[in-house]
Amino acid sequence: MKLKIINPNTTQSMTDKIGQCARAVAAPATRISAVSPRMGPASIESHYDEALSVPGVLEEILAGERDGVDAYVIACFGDPGLHAARELARGPVLGIAEAAMHAASLIGSSFSVVTTLARTCNMAWHLAERYGMKRFCRNVHACDLSVLELERPGSDARRIIAERCRLALAQDRSECIVLGCAGMADLCEEITDIIGAPVIDGVTAAVKMTEALVSIRLGTSKRGDWARPLPKPYAGMLAPFSLG
């Protein structure tokens, strides 16, 4: 199967890291492509960034459908454009927050999220509600690290995040940790070892869950909410998005 992972921001080093983590866990028959959109923000740390990452994500989904992609992963913890992407895709589309929270609820009766900036905590809560996972989410913790700090060589991010995970587990009396940023994907194993409790990275969780869905022939339902959008004219610089 062809699995396309879209990092909704335009930072190539993060896209590369995401691709590596994905390939490390993918089934032999899964061909992974990991891409950044041609347009949009270098990192996603606000509703504004998130909203403006969506056109680039959708452009990649449209291209993917032309290329016969079987499933998609949207690799940003805000799951930007998820519902719109599902309208376009025949196969499954998963967000990494969605995949991570689902996985967490299957191996622990509660989880804590550890994310980057405090201002994104509310978005995580909103997603937890939307996915039905609010009852399992004990709290959302910020590390006060920017997304791109995770990409900076020599950064102290690794140590700060591990420490925050340890504290979250203790304070929340929770049973596992959900990493709240695609840029943390490469830290999952190391932090698991440090804190001695399961740590879930959404990138790998989403890769395996989309493989699972495809292998039992489940794609996005085309009834109701996620049916293909109706064709209509689009104006201005977004004219190319018209589905014709």
Residues 84-113 close enough to bind its own copies by CB under 8 A: 84, 86-88, 92, 94, 98, 102-103, 105-110
Nearest approach in angstroms of CB 178 to its own copies is: 11
In contact, 177 and 165? CB cutoff 8 Å: yes
Of 67, 118, 159, 190, the one binding its own copies by CB under 8 A: 118
Site for its own copies in 23-52 (CB under 8 A): 25, 27, 37-43, 45-52
The least CB distance from residue 174 to its own copies, in Å, is: 8
Does position 155 interact with its own copies (CB under 8 A)? The reply is: no
Q: Which residues contact 22 (CB under 8 A, 6 or more apart)?
A: 3, 5, 32, 34, 73, 203, 204, 207
Does position 134 interact with its own copies (CB under 8 A)? The reply is: yes
| Binding region for its own copies (CB under 8 A) out of 149-157, 158-166, 173-181 | 173-181
| Under rule CB under 8 A, residue 15 binds its own copies | no
Residue type, 74: I
20 binds its own copies (CB under 8 A): no
Six-digit token pair at 120?
Answer: 């994104």
Site for its own copies contains 162 (CB under 8 A): no
φ, ψ (nearest 5 deg) of residue 32: -90, 130
Alpha-carbon distance 42 to 37, whole Å?
10
Q: Check residue 244 for interaction with its own copies (CB under 8 A).
A: no
Distance, first Cα to last Cα, the chain: 28
> What is the rounded CA–CA span in Å between residue 57 and residue 14?
15
Residue 124 binds to its own copies (criterion: CB under 8 A): no
- Interface map 205-224 toward its own copies (x if CB under 8 A): x--xx-xxx-xxxxxxx-xx
What mask of x and - would describe binding to its own copies in positions 60 to 79, judged by CB under 8 A?
--------------------
Element (H, E) at 130: helix 121-130
Does residue 227 touch its own copies according to CB under 8 A?
yes
Cβ-count burial of 242 within 10 angstroms (0-12 exposed, 13-18 middle, 19+ buried)? Answer: exposed
Query: Which contiguous run of DSSP H or E holds residue 6?
Result: strand 2-6
Residue 137 CB: number of other CB atoms within 10 A? 23
Contacting residue, 33, 175, 186, 194, with its own copies by CB under 8 A: 175
Residues 130, 158, 167, 194: which binds its own copies (CB under 8 A)?
Answer: 130
**Total residues in contact with its own copies, by rule CB under 8 A:** 95
